[in-house]
């Protein structure tokens, strides 16, 4: 008897683990063009502020919808998607990360590049140490936080450093760009290589110093609807909205560049 | 039995999914060995720190009548319920470069804790010490205080009584607490990555290495996880019979 109960319990657990959740945010099937329900968007950490604003205006444009976000490092989100996380849209900070998701067959249609982003050197407000170039922050004694090379901003940072011919040893390699920025805000490091948009979003705490080599390491951001999306109509609508003029204006104001 | 299945199934999944054919060569990659060595060293140091600070604290809680005892015990258990990342943030606010104590440490002694191996030890000790304190306090309460009183009547000082009567009596409890503390320190992630950051060889412990590997190379993450699992199980099994007796 006890073995039977155990077997049933184990089988239930396995079954629960194998199936994808389908009860999250069902689209309203009342009419072909009515968008409603929850749209789940997984987006790179650097899109936090702009996508949150875009989500609100999307909800205003489509009453009855609710956009929920999960912001994290792009590789972490890609890993969640390929492991079966239920989501409608994925916006990545690099084509390479998006490729891991398309290669796994989890994307509907073709990914579209919707913005570009460039790196700056984030320093504490007022730039107390007067750091103005990659060579300056690579000097011994300067504590720098970089993103880990697996993360898009880390890969871009390495590209920029190589282009500048500068060898930089960071004190920490963070798993997403917001963590690197947080270290600057806390005053734990003297500088970090983050996106222009992140420095702007934290303008009250940090200054973003431009440097020429960032032009050699521009990140393209692709966005795509996901296969197995709980709300395919909502996904398509959000995709279209992100490329429309109002959303593009929000992104441009945040510091992103046109695709 | 269901409880056992619940705990064992994820481990079984890890073993089944492992890349067994590539295992020997992946396990000896320098990055893996570096992270493993760092993890073992910092966890052991954190346990030593916890023993030095925690055993006296447990003795105060168990054997004295200090009025603030209840408050002290509640404070000791806070790191247990605090999310580790929050612990890391709290450590930064105190010991960080601009922290309450950290700024003074930096100015006076040029000591910085964040982004150093010492910082890793501090973070691990912070989350793991309560396990030791509670374990030892329990063992001390269970031990009969009359033996110490007898030692006192025979002329032993407090320190001698503690060293030669109390400690041997509660040794299994202390050992069990130390093992729990070591295991918790070995697995610490949130406080470490927030306070000490992530840098291979200096602050990238095994859990951090697993987390970062997971995003890029699932097989590498599984190998790292297996190594950590094997080391932990080996230590627990080795210590179980010899010194802890029936306590753990």
Distance of alpha carbon A191 from alpha carbon A209, whole angstroms: 10
Is residue B44 domain-resident? Answer: yes
Same domain, A194 and A245: no
Is residue A57 domain-resident? Answer: yes
Pairing relationship of beta strands A191-195 and A144-147 according to DSSP bridges: parallel
SS3 B181: helix
- For chain A, say whether B100 makes contact (Cβ under 8 Å): no
Is residue B108 domain-resident? Answer: yes
- Percentage with pLDDT > 70 across chain B: 96
Q: Tell me the per-residue pLDDT of B9-45, one tens digit each, with 9 for 90 and over.
A: 888 888 888 888 888 887 788 888 899 999 999 999 9
Q: Which residue of B has its CA nearest to A190?
A: B97
Is residue B5 domain-resident? Answer: no
pLDDT for the residue A99: 95
CA distance B227 to chain A (A): 22
Q: Tell me the per-residue pLDDT of B46-67, one tens digit each, with 9 for 90 and over.
A: 999 999 999 999 988 988 887 8
pLDDT for the residue B246: 52
Q: Give the DSSP letter of residue A210.
A: -
* Mean pLDDT for back-to-back runs of 10 residues, chain A (259 residues): 59 50 44 78 94 96 94 92 93 94 94 95 94 93 93 94 94 93 93 95 94 92 94 94 95 93
Q: Residue B214 — pLDDT band, cuts 50, 70, 90?
A: confident
pLDDT for the residue A22: 43
CA atoms within 13 A on the CB side of B127: 30
Is residue B247 domain-resident? Answer: no
The answer to whether the CB atoms of A79 and B215 lie below 8 A apart is yes
Domain count, chain B: 1
Distance of alpha carbon A73 from alpha carbon B164, whole angstroms: 55
Rg for chain A, CA atoms, rounded: 21
Is residue B23 domain-resident? Answer: no
- Write out chain B residues lying below 8 Å of A172, CB-based: 115, 197-199, 203
Distance of alpha carbon A69 from alpha carbon A41, whole angstroms: 5
Q: Which residue of A has its CA nearest to B196?
A: A172
| Domain CATH for B43 | 1.10.3720.10
Same domain, A199 and A233: no
**DSSP track, B64-119:** ---TTHHHHHHHHHHHHHS-HHHHHHHHHHHHSTTSTTHHHHHHHH----TTSHHH
Distance of alpha carbon B100 from alpha carbon A30, whole angstroms: 59
Q: Which residues contact B139 (CB under 8 A, 6 or more apart)?
A: B170, B172, B173, B174, B176, B177
Q: Which residues contact B40 (CB under 8 A, 6 or more apart)?
A: B186, B231
Find where tokens 């107390």 sit.
A128
Asked whether the ipTM of the predicted complex exceeds the cut of 0.85, the reply is no
Is residue A7 domain-resident? Answer: no
| Domain CATH for A50 | 3.40.190.10
Same domain, A181 and A160: yes
Domain count, chain A: 2
Is residue B136 domain-resident? Answer: yes
Same domain, A83 and A102: yes
Q: Which residues contact A71 (CB under 8 A, 6 or more apart)?
A: A43, A44, A45, A47, A48, A51, A178
Q: What does the block give as tokens for B17?
A: 């999914």
Q: Tell me the per-residue pLDDT of A239-254, one tens digit each, with 9 for 90 and over.
A: 999 999 999 999 999 9
Is residue A6 domain-resident? Answer: no
Residue range of the domain that includes B51: 29-242
Query: From the CB of residue B108, how many other CB atoms can be counted at a distance below 10 Å?
Result: 8
pLDDT for the residue A24: 43
- For chain A, say whether B96 makes contact (Cβ under 8 Å): yes
pLDDT for the residue B32: 85
The answer to whether the CB atoms of A6 and B5 lie below 8 A apart is yes
Same domain, A44 and A162: no
pLDDT for the residue A20: 45
Is residue A16 domain-resident? Answer: no
Q: Tell me the per-residue pLDDT of B73-126, one tens digit each, with 9 for 90 and over.
A: 899 989 989 999 999 999 999 999 888 898 888 888 888 899 999 999 999 999
Is residue B212 domain-resident? Answer: yes
Same domain, A109 and A128: no
Is residue A79 domain-resident? Answer: yes
CA neighbor of B180 nearest in space, from B138, B231, B114, B130 = B130
CA distance A75 to chain B (A): 5
Among A148, A183, A189, the residue with its CB nearest the CB of B212 is A148
**A vs B: CB pairs below 8 A:** 63
The answer to whether the CB atoms of A76 and B215 lie below 8 A apart is yes
Is residue B53 domain-resident? Answer: yes
Same domain, A225 and A112: yes
Is residue A207 domain-resident? Answer: yes
Q: Which residue of B has its CA nearest to A77?
A: B215
Same domain, A89 and A135: no
Same domain, A206 and A250: no
Same domain, A50 and A102: yes
- Write out chain B residues lying below 8 Å of A93, CB-based: none
- For chain A, say whether B203 makes contact (Cβ under 8 Å): yes
Residue range of the domain that includes A209: 119-216
- For chain A, say whether B107 makes contact (Cβ under 8 Å): no
Residue B229 has pLDDT above 70, yes or no: yes
Same domain, A127 and A206: yes
| Domain CATH for A167 | 3.40.190.120
- Which of A243-257, B202-216, B228-242 tops mean pLDDT? A243-257
The answer to whether the CB atoms of B96 and A186 lie below 8 A apart is yes
Q: Which residue of A has its CA nearest to B106?
A: A188
SS3 A251: helix
Residues in a beta bridge with A91: A43, A223
- Percentage with pLDDT > 90 across chain B: 39
Q: Residue B132 — pLDDT band, cuts 50, 70, 90?
A: very high
CA neighbor of A183 nearest in space, from B215, B141, B18, B89 = B89
Residues of A at the B interface (Cβ-Cβ below 8 Å)? 2, 5-6, 9-10, 13, 73, 75-76, 78-79, 143, 145, 148, 150-151, 170-175, 183, 186-189
Q: Which of A13, A73, A187, A190 has the most B C-beta neighbours within 10 Å, making it the best mutation to test the interface with B?
A: A187
Same domain, A37 and A101: yes
């Amino acid at each position: 008897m006890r073995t039977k109960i155990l077997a049933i319990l184990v089988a239930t657990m396995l079954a629960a683990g194998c199936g994808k959740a389908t009860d999250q945010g069902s689209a309203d099937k009342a009419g072909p063009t009515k968008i409603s329900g929850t749209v789940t968007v997984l987006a790179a950490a650097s899109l936090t502020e702009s996508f949150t604003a875009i989500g609100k205006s999307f909800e205003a444009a489509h009453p009855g919808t609710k956009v929920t976000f999960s912001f994290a490092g792009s590789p972490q989100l890609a890993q969640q998607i390929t492991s079966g996380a239920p989501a409608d849209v994925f916006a990545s900070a690099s084509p390479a990360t998006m490729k891991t998701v398309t290669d796994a067959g989890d994307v509907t249609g073709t990914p579209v590049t919707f913005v570009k982003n460039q790196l700056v050197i984030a320093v504490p407000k007022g730039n107390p140490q007067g750091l103005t170039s990659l060579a300056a922050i690579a000097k011994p004694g300067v504590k720098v936080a970089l993103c880990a090379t697996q993360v898009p901003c880390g890969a871009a940072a390495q590209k920029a450093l190589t282009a500048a011919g500068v060898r930089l040893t960071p004190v920490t390699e963070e798993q997403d760009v917001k963590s690197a920025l947080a270290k600057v805000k806390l005053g734990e490091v003297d500088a970090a290589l983050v996106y222009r948009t992140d420095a702007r979003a934290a303008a009250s705490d940090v200054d973003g110093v431009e440097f020429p080599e960032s032009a050699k390491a521009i990140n393209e951001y692709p966005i795509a609807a996901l296969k197995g999306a709980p709300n395919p109509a909502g996904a398509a609508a959000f995709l279209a909205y992100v490329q429309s003029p109002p959303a593009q204006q929000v992104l441009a104001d945040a510091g992103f560049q046109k695709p | 039995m269901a409880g056992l299945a619940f705990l064992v199934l994820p481990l079984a999944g890890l073993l089944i999914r492992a890349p067994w054919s590539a295992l020997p060569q992946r396990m000896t990659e320098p990055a893996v060995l570096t992270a493993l060595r760092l993890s073992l060293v910092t966890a052991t140091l954190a346990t030593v720190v916890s023993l030095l600070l925690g055993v006296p604290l447990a003795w105060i809680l168990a054997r004295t009548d200090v009025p603030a005892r209840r408050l002290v015990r509640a404070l000791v258990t806070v790191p247990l319920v605090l999310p580790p990342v929050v612990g890391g943030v709290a450590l930064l606010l105190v010991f960080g470069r601009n922290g309450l104590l950290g700024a003074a440490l930096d100015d006076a002694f040029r000591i910085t804790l964040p982004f150093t191996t010492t910082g890793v030890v501090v973070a691990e000790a912070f989350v793991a010490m309560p396990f030791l304190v509670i374990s030892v306090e329990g063992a001390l309460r269970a031990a009969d205080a009359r033996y110490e009183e007898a030692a006192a009547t025979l002329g032993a000082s407090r320190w001698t009584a503690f060293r030669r009567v109390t400690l041997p009596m509660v040794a299994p409890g202390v050992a069990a607490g130390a093992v729990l503390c070591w295991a918790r320190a070995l697995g610490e992630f949130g406080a470490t990555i927030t306070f000490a950051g992530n840098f291979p060889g200096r602050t990238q412990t095994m859990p951090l290495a697993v987390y970062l590997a997971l995003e890029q190379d699932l097989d590498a993450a599984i190998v790292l996880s297996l190594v950590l699992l094997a080391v932990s199980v080996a230590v627990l099994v080795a210590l179980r019979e010899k010194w802890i007796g029936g306590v753990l």
